[in-house]
Amino acid sequence: MTDELAVDARGVTKSFGSLRAVDSITLQVAPGEVYGVLGPNGAGKTTFLRMLFGLIRPDAGSISIFGRTWAADGVHALDGVAGFIESPGFYGYLTGRQNLEGLALLDGGAPRGLVDEVLEVVDLADRAHEKVRGYSYGMRQRLGVAASLLRRPRLLILDEPANGLDPAGIRDMRALVKRLAESGLTVLLSSHHMDEVEEICDNVTIMRRGTVAFHGTIADLRAMAPDPGHVLRTTDDERAMAVAAAHPAVRVERDHAEGGLVATGQQLAVSSYVADLVRNELGLLALTPTRTPLEALFFMLTDADASPEAVTA
């Protein structure tokens, strides 16, 4: 049954006391796709993933994974699923390889060569003989992925795999997820940074206070994104505002918090405004992009004061 949905979650709800941490989430992940669950801290991402792993039970709704459910299949609902919630734990006094060998033994032993193979996939083969306590946070996260791969999963669930990583660590994790997806694995990951997922995910669900604020493809999301904004510093902001009157496609406002101006509009319109500033003999001290359009949209969708209605592209 290759065309069965990897994840089919419908109306999944979970409350803790009076707090509805996950409120009627419906989400489908097709086999082979990389799916992102995005949201700010406390949006309910981890609670949702914990329900997928059967660590907590939903109060309402249904979850099936490759057609299996907890109700009908018990622990077999997780056949073919691996991953980690929050950070994976390892023995610091053992090497990366020893940790994996120990885990493989607990699972009934791994076929010959599998530990080497997964170390290779996560790019830790040449560091596998070192003790894990000397590993960077990014290396531990990748070892966590290696441990999950020991089960030869069809679906990998990763809770904020790039959280706490430096830019190089984020780049490596992103490259790893891409490689895994190319090998045909289905990946469901959570994140609270748009830029972590926009390059690697096919579909995203953006969560806000337990509910779906957006659901669709990254391309759909890009189409909805607002115009890019630029922080502008000039030698005379007063005159720069006056020049803006001739450029109705560009919105120019004072940045009261940081000083200077913010010019918002399509790239070409902003360029023509800036050229006009130079023609008017205004000195241009800085022109830097503010948030990327997708980041700006993410903040709009998840902002506490934003409209709670879901947007489905």
Ligand X SMILES: Nc1ncnc2c1ncn2[C@@H]1O[C@H](COP(=O)(O)OP(=O)(O)OP(=O)(O)O)[C@@H](O)[C@H]1O
Residues forming contacts to ligand X in the complex (CB under 6 A) are: 16, 19, 21, 39, 41-47, 192
Nearer to ligand X, 13 or 271 (CB): 13
Provide the minimum distance between the beta carbon of 311 and ligand X in the complex, in angstroms, as a whole number.
19
d(CA 202, CA 295): 17
Question: 């509805």: which residue's tokens?
Answer: 20
d(CA 148, CA 172): 17
Provide the minimum distance between the beta carbon of 40 and ligand X in the complex, in angstroms, as a whole number.
7
Token pair listed for 297: 């949209």
d(CA 27, CA 58): 14
DSSP 178-201: HHHHHTT-EEEEEES-HHHHTTT-
DSSP run (H or E) holding 170: helix 167-182
In this structure, are residues 150 and 115 in contact, taking their beta carbons and an 8 Å threshold? yes
Provide the minimum distance between the beta carbon of 66 and ligand X in the complex, in angstroms, as a whole number.
24
Question: Judging by DSSP bridges, how do beta strands 34-38 and 60-65 pair with one another?
Answer: unpaired
Point out which residues pair with 237 in neighbouring strands: none
In this structure, are residues 189 and 86 in contact, taking their beta carbons and an 8 Å threshold? no
Provide the minimum distance between the beta carbon of 39 and ligand X in the complex, in angstroms, as a whole number.
5
In this structure, are residues 128 and 160 in contact, taking their beta carbons and an 8 Å threshold? no
Nearer to ligand X, 21 or 145 (CB): 21
CA max distance for the chain = 75
Nearer to ligand X, 134 or 164 (CB): 164
Nearer to ligand X, 107 or 303 (CB): 303
Nearer to ligand X, 43 or 197 (CB): 43
Instruction: For residue 161, count other CB atoms closer than 10 A to its CB.
Output: 29
Question: Judging by DSSP bridges, how do beta strands 203-208 and 284-289 pair with one another?
Answer: unpaired
Residues 6+ apart with CB under 8 A from 214: 204, 205, 206, 221, 224, 301, 310, 311, 312, 313
For residue 166, what are the CA distances in angstroms to 121, 177, 184, 299?
A: 20, 16, 27, 22
d(CA 228, CA 246): 19
